[in-house]
Structure 1
Amino acid sequence: MLKWLVCVAFLITNSLAGKKIPDTFLLGASSAAFQIEGGWNEDGKGPSLWDTYLHDKNASENGDIACDSYHKWREDIANVKSLGLDFYRFSIAWSRILPSGTLNNINQEGIDYYLNLIKALKAENIEPVVTIYHWDMPQHVHELGGFLNPQFVDYFGDYARLVFELYAPYVKYWLTINEPFMICLGGYGLGFMAPGLNLIGDGVYQCGYVLLKAHAKAYRIYDEEFREKYNGQVGLVINFDWAEPLTNSSQDLEAQRRYQEFALGWWANPVYLGNWPQVMIDRIAYRSKLEGFSRSRLPEFTQEEIDYINGTSDFFGLNTYNVGQVKYGPEPTIGLPAYTSDIGIVVVNDPDYYHPRGIRDSVNHIHKKYRPRGILITENGKMTGDILDDQGRISLIRDYMDNLLDAVLEDRVNVFGYSVWSLMDNFEWGSYEKRFGIIRTDFDSPNRTRTWKQSAKWYQNVTATRTLDV
């Protein structure tokens, strides 16, 4: 009875005075090297896949200057400090420290850039959360085949070992690879991201096969060579947006389950449970046979590979932005092989659908199915136009954080931190028009002037009071 009364009193207090954020819950903001740094060919940096991709198509906008954080990193740290953040998530540009992506050419100026950044964050008591790979593959490694080349695993392992050797004394949280779903489906399957390949029936799965082994390689290197000395944590960042079934019919519920397995399970199952989701194995093998293939388009893991990948996570990194709806659809006809036919569901496009509880449902699903030791929300935010009074962003972040805290406080899900995307407006992979930042970047100014939006001021108050005004 006493425990029940204490719980009720806690909930009443929270409802009257706003929702208290536990002292151990980390609040942060995120960025990525290619999107903010600029300095694309300065001080020995080599070209990345995205540099070449945008230059070759003469894109009107590119990442050559971006937010100019390569030169303005001190100002960025000052903003992180003023916001009162516990951590700052950023990524290392592989080709800034290894211009060709391989160990035969190590760039000391690139190494020093990140060392200075990390030490400056630590001096301000800000935890650096470091993403080892956020999409900007060295061009040379791409020309060798990128994620379609099994040897990529060794190149990535060499790179990961180097950054651990350089920065592990200062970094507690490591993220190996950001958003494998977007890398493989967007870059190798549907071709709307670099490298722009349309291999939707087979390359998309080969990409995933190589990528997961590369992630595991980096994790195993840290686990075997660095953990005892530094005791850091290593995780994979998976992007997943919750989807509700359009109705409670058994068919729509099956569509939801299939969506979860093909979007989330594709990556989480091998890391946390071992092997691909069974529905992926079965459906892709079945359709491959009818399409005339001698074997499944989904590469088969050996038992040794299953064991090597399984268990390679100290925490679950989750990028999540929206909640959608899915429904059952008739089985796609046998024709050109494609991931979209393999999953075989219908995504309902309703721009007015808003369901912020989806983040609570997501972390509960992840907690119950995969049992990670902890979950870190590595990205969440809202795109707006170029405005300073961004009340829509505040509302969305507040709603999502509110539901996330319900998962923590009421459902007892071990979510230990939240990071808004993004610290500032940046280059959103092809456009400067998409504004996700809580700080405005003036891309028309040579100085790339930063100006706090209302969302930054609101977030600063949240970090200062440790209270969510719900």
Structure 2
Amino acid sequence: MWSLLLFVIIGLIGSEISVDALNCTVRPKGSSKFPKTFKFGAASSAYQVEGAWNVDGKGPSIWDEYLHEHPDLVKDGSNADDSVESYRLFDSDLKALKELGVDHYRFSIAWPRIFPTGYVNSKNQKGIDYYNSVIDKLLANGIEPVVTIFHWELPVNMQKFGGFSNSFIVDHFVDYAEQLFSLFGDRVKTWLTINEPNEMCKFGFGNARVPPMIVAPGIGEYLCYTNLLKAHGATYRMYQEKFAEKQRGKIGIPCNVNYMFSNDSDVTNRGMDFEFGIIAHPILSKSGDLPPIVLHDIAKNSQEEGFKRSRLPSLGKYWTAIIQGSADFLALNYYTAGQIERPTGPVGAIPSFDRDNNLTSTPHAFENCPQASTYLRFVPEGLEALLKYIRDKYDNIEVKMTENGWSDSGGLDDYMRIEYVKNHLQAVLNAINDGCNVTSYAPWSLVDSFEFLNGYADKFGFYAVNMTSPNKERTPKKSARYYKKVIKTRKLNHKV
């Protein structure tokens, strides 16, 4: 899932739409029905729903460790030790999925549940049995498993050596992924490698806002980006070499993109390169490597700051060749949009990503649009514009929507969630009608769960969970009834 961190991410994609023309809604354009091949799903992640944090041989993750030591970091002081107990109660989740009638279910595998130390010589059979059971039950009920290899649950041992700031992680991540392909690839045909690189690297290694809580702005996040891209690319190549011919699966990387509007195309293009392009360009572009403006400006700033070499160097010919083209599709997480502008002077500390990016959020952007219980604004027009941008920029690569959701403080009469889903699905349908290669949609989230730094205070689920009951019963909200009708009819205009 998107890790709702309460921090607005500035600068992503430019737009041909005037900011003044936005009205926080999407009007239908073209066909009113989704294609027969379009797939509807739902999404979750292991840490947020499984609970059982130390049960049946599971090792600790960096999130387990840090939130045990710093409960004050979370909005309501909670953690995911038990969460909604999907490890014990997956059949309850399966019942909800069947009620909705989804085509697929996105979930993640907890690295330390099957390899407690992180190293592949520490195989935990009970963890493997659990995921085998989940996959088999989904398939037995006609639901495709879509599996995220890594959704931030880094084993503590891996972080002792720096985690994604140390190049050693590349080989160990590939080893881990190879085991997953061997164990589950006969049944899993859609894989997502590393969830939301931007959030993980910037907030984990630059600003110390989430585990591993590294304070190294302008350096740490770039080490993370580089090693993450290498781990993703090497995993893709390994799959092609060892598994693709027999298993015939597909691999993508899920990127969270907050579409950023501006009336200045230079500003928006720069924002795109620094936020989305830093991951997308090396993987999806025809030229490969990092965006030229990113390489140039960080090298220039590094020199001016007295460094002997760039804080973010080129990936080089070897790694550029491995990373370029290392995705069969783009997995896209979209929640909201923003607006950016050039500052009157340099911004951010020396060094820092903010100073390299050199853009700021426009004050009071979209303040007339509804706001969720978190910072999220209701801006579905950003999703339609983003999908068209990806179509034009990246040769209309297949896009799978892997997250999209609305938070509230709870309750079954969640009419705003219905409006959010309806408008964002309309944005997807409009984009499809305009030639965009969007093939699936998995909203966040199936059930109310642990929302990282927001704890249980903010709800994203189609199903409410009775957290005080031993069986933590799942109860459908009005949004679940609406989404069920959409899936059944493949149309959006339903009353609930």
TM-score normalised to structure 1 length: 0.93
Instruction: Tell me if structure 1 keeps the 8 A contact 2:302–2:311.
Output: yes
Matched, 1:383 2:445: no
Matched, 1:456 2:454: no
Q: 2:118 aligns with which of 81, 87, 101?
A: 101
- Counterpart of 2:59 in structure 1 is 46
- Counterpart of 2:357 in structure 1 is 343
Q: 2:207 aligns with which of 174, 190, 193?
A: 190
Instruction: Tell me if structure 2 keeps the 8 A contact 1:316–1:372.
Output: no
Separation in 2, partners of 1:171, 1:16: 35
Matched, 1:394 2:408: no
- Counterpart of 1:415 in structure 2 is 438
Aligned letter for 2:68? H
The 5 A counterparts of 1:24-423 are 24-59=37-72, 60-245=77-262, 248=263, 252-273=264-285, 274-332=288-346, 336-348=350-362, 349-350=364-365, 351-353=367-369, 354-371=378-395, 373-409=397-433, 411-423=434-446
Aligned letter for 1:352? N
After superposition, the Cα gap between the structure-2 partners of 1:178 and 1:334, relative to the gap in structure 1 and judged at 3 Å, is closer
- Counterpart of 2:9 in structure 1 is none
How many residue pairs get matched? Answer: 451
Aligned letter for 1:414? N
User: Deviation digits for residues 212-250 of structure 1, max 9, x if unmatched?
Assistant: 0001111111111111001110001111011110xx3xx
TM-score normalised to structure 2 length: 0.88
Instruction: Tell me if structure 2 keeps the 8 A contact 1:291–1:334.
Output: no
Separation in 1, partners of 2:198, 2:386: 16
User: Deviation digits for residues 319-343 of structure 1, max 9, x if unmatched?
Assistant: 0000111112124168521101111
Higher relative contact order (CA 8 A, sep 6+): 2
Aligned letter for 1:423? L
SS in 2 for 1:213: helix
Residue ranges of structure 1 left out of the alignment (5+ in a row): 1-13
- Report the alpha carbon displacement of residue 444 of structure 1 after superposing the two structures with TM: 3.1
SS in 1 for 2:435: coil
Separation in 1, partners of 2:353, 2:347: 13
Separation in 1, partners of 2:203, 2:467: 26
User: Deviation digits for residues 2-61 of structure 1, max 9, x if unmatched?
Assistant: xxxxxxxxxxxx979992111100000000000000000000100011000111224531
Aligned letter for 2:49? I
- Counterpart of 2:36 in structure 1 is 23
Instruction: Tell me if structure 1 keeps the 8 A contact 2:258–2:337.
Output: yes
After superposition, the Cα gap between the structure-2 partners of 1:340 and 1:325, relative to the gap in structure 1 and judged at 3 Å, is same
Separation in 2, partners of 1:130, 1:95: 16
SS in 2 for 1:38: coil
Aligned letter for 1:139? V
Separation in 2, partners of 1:15, 1:396: 15
Separation in 1, partners of 2:149, 2:333: 16
Separation in 2, partners of 1:150, 1:134: 19
Separation in 2, partners of 1:258, 1:43: 48
- Report the alpha carbon displacement of residue 69 of structure 1 after superposing the two structures with TM: 0.4
User: Deviation digits for residues 69-91 of structure 1, max 9, x if unmatched?
Assistant: 00000110111011000000000
SS in 2 for 1:388: coil
Separation in 2, partners of 1:260, 1:32: 27
SS in 2 for 1:394: helix
Instruction: Tell me if structure 1 keeps the 8 A contact 2:252–2:327.
Output: yes
Aligned letter for 1:467? K
Instruction: Tell me if structure 1 keeps the 8 A contact 2:96–2:474.
Output: no
Aligned letter for 1:450? R
Q: 2:447 aligns with which of 408, 424, 429?
A: 424
SS in 2 for 1:19: coil
Aligned letter for 1:186? F
User: Deviation digits for residues 77-119 of structure 1, max 9, x if unmatched?
Assistant: 1110110000000000000000011011100000000000000
- Counterpart of 1:441 in structure 2 is 465
Separation in 2, partners of 1:155, 1:109: 21
Separation in 2, partners of 1:34, 1:434: 16
- Report the alpha carbon displacement of residue 300 of structure 1 after superposing the two structures with TM: 2.6
Aligned letter for 2:178? R
Aligned letter for 2:446? L
SS in 1 for 2:271: helix
- Report the alpha carbon displacement of residue 293 of structure 1 after superposing the two structures with TM: 0.9
Aligned letter for 1:418? Y
Aligned letter for 1:342? D
- Report the alpha carbon displacement of residue 201 of structure 1 after superposing the two structures with TM: 1.2
Separation in 2, partners of 1:16, 1:200: 44
Instruction: Tell me if structure 2 keeps the 8 A contact 1:205–1:299.
Output: no
Separation in 1, partners of 2:338, 2:348: 27
User: Deviation digits for residues 348-381 of structure 1, max 9, x if unmatched?
Assistant: 2433344312111111111111125410000001
Instruction: Tell me if structure 2 keeps the 8 A contact 1:191–1:197.
Output: yes
Separation in 1, partners of 2:241, 2:400: 23
Percent identical residues = 41
After superposition, the Cα gap between the structure-2 partners of 1:372 and 1:412, relative to the gap in structure 1 and judged at 3 Å, is closer
Separation in 1, partners of 2:347, 2:432: 44
Farther off after superposition, 343-352 or 137-146: 343-352
Separation in 1, partners of 2:405, 2:227: 30
SS in 2 for 1:129: strand
Separation in 2, partners of 1:331, 1:236: 35
Instruction: Tell me if structure 2 keeps the 8 A contact 1:18–1:468.
Output: no
After superposition, the Cα gap between the structure-2 partners of 1:363 and 1:37, relative to the gap in structure 1 and judged at 3 Å, is same
Q: Identify the structure with the greater helix proportion.
A: 1
